[in-house]
Amino acid sequence: MRSHLLILLISLLVLKSESINCDENSHTSDLRVFHINSQCSPFKTSASWEDTLLQDKARFLYLSSLAAAKKSSVPIASGRAIVQSPTYIVRANIGTPAQPMLVALDTSNDAAWIPCSGCVGCSSSVLFNPSKSSSSRTLQCQAPQCKQVPNPSCTVKKSCGFNMTYGGSAIEAYLTQDTLTLANDVIPNYTFGCINKASGSSLPAQGLMGLGRGPLSLISQTQNLYQSTFSYCLPNSKSGNFSGSLRLGPKFQPMRIKTTPLLKNPRRSSLYYVNLVGIRVGNKIVDIPTSALAFDPATGAGTIFDSGTVYTRLVEPAYVAVRDEFRRRVKNANATSLGGFDTCYSGSVVYPSVTFMFAGMNVTLPTDNLLIHSSAGNLSCLAMAAAPTNVNSVLNVIASMQQQNHRVLIDVPNSRLGISRETCT
């Protein structure tokens, strides 16, 4: 009898986990964050490791170009030049009455744009219709926001148009203001780009929400409401039912959290730089040249946190040092390669820990953040890679896989980034 009750209980728990409410939010200013392969996402992909690494390379090249840019008006893009699906999405309601959209979450981007009705070349069947929103209005050429978009132009109707590239795509849009509703928060007069023409296949299908520090980012437009503070917890992609959260504003943020100072690159202030001072494998701090980790605004060198890159990329001297020590500590096993991963093992292996040492805090990666496992066979690989060698790369990127199941706090007023362990379900 007890065994039957146990089986029934397990079945009920499984049933409950498989029938989650995709529209539910936990409390005010707290949005659900979904991985693209969750059951709440219409953008599911079957990308292989090789595909994901290629996407990451495109993203990395974009971030490197941002870091070294001499102008603040670099074309706004997320750099996913191969597929149009983002890694993480959130639900945003736009207009009055609200029109729901699933927009890509991007911590290294400054702006928001949405595909609008009548768009030529937009891939999504879900388009925002400004004519059905009583709170929508088109911004005119003289609006100050028109000076903050790339390649602004004045249309025949004197509205503010602009065009830009996005990975392998190009878009034409016009600036619009409307009511944005996030969870239970209503944000009037939110400025975003309304896309009316698109080409290429790199666009997140239902739009983009930038969480950088630029003037048109969500964080900048909602300073009075959210005080330039937010945190996110990214769900693990292994379970389709897992969802994380985007928590906006200083309320409900973790009280006890390790932090490190945020650094600012005046040439690209939206990127969230931190001071990575060393990396420990097992109990050994590996020998990495100081120049490989040093922050230099002039060249864009340093380390950033990014939600759009999947696997952490380290400049080659840093990665080689970490990889070689990792291999040395794996006993009685020879490393093999799989796709772009060069440190893979089969069977039962004891792996060393890896700790990122930031100024003021250390973060030791759990196994789930450190290794990627092959779906075919019993192969496990170190889930990091070297920066591409065909560019003058100086940027280290702490990517989403290494951030999963951690609460990452961005506190701009106090210029700090915090991390604490949290199961993002």
Active site residues: 106, 306
As a whole number of angstroms, the distance between CA 261 and CA 138 comes to 39
What DSSP assignment string belongs to 190-251? EEEEEEEEEESS-S-TT-EEE-SSSTTSHHHHTHHHHTTEEEEEPPPTT-TT-EEEEEESST
Residue 233 and residue 406 in contact, taking contact as beta carbons nearer than 8 Å = yes
Q: Which residue has the tokens 């693209």?
A: 36
As a whole number of angstroms, the distance between CA 411 and CA 389 comes to 33
What DSSP assignment string belongs to 105-141? EETT---EEEEEEEEES---S--B-GGG-TT-EEPBT
Tokens of 69: 């840019």
**Residue closest to 268 by CA, chosen among 247, 297, 225:** 297
Residue 344 and residue 338 in contact, taking contact as beta carbons nearer than 8 Å = yes
Give the bridge partners for 385, in sequence order: 313
Sheet holding 379-382, edge to edge: 336-338, 341-346, 379-382, 371-373
CB atoms within 10 A of CB 212: 23
Tokens of 61: 């090249």
Which sign, positive or negative, has the C-alpha torsion 20, 24, 27, 31? positive
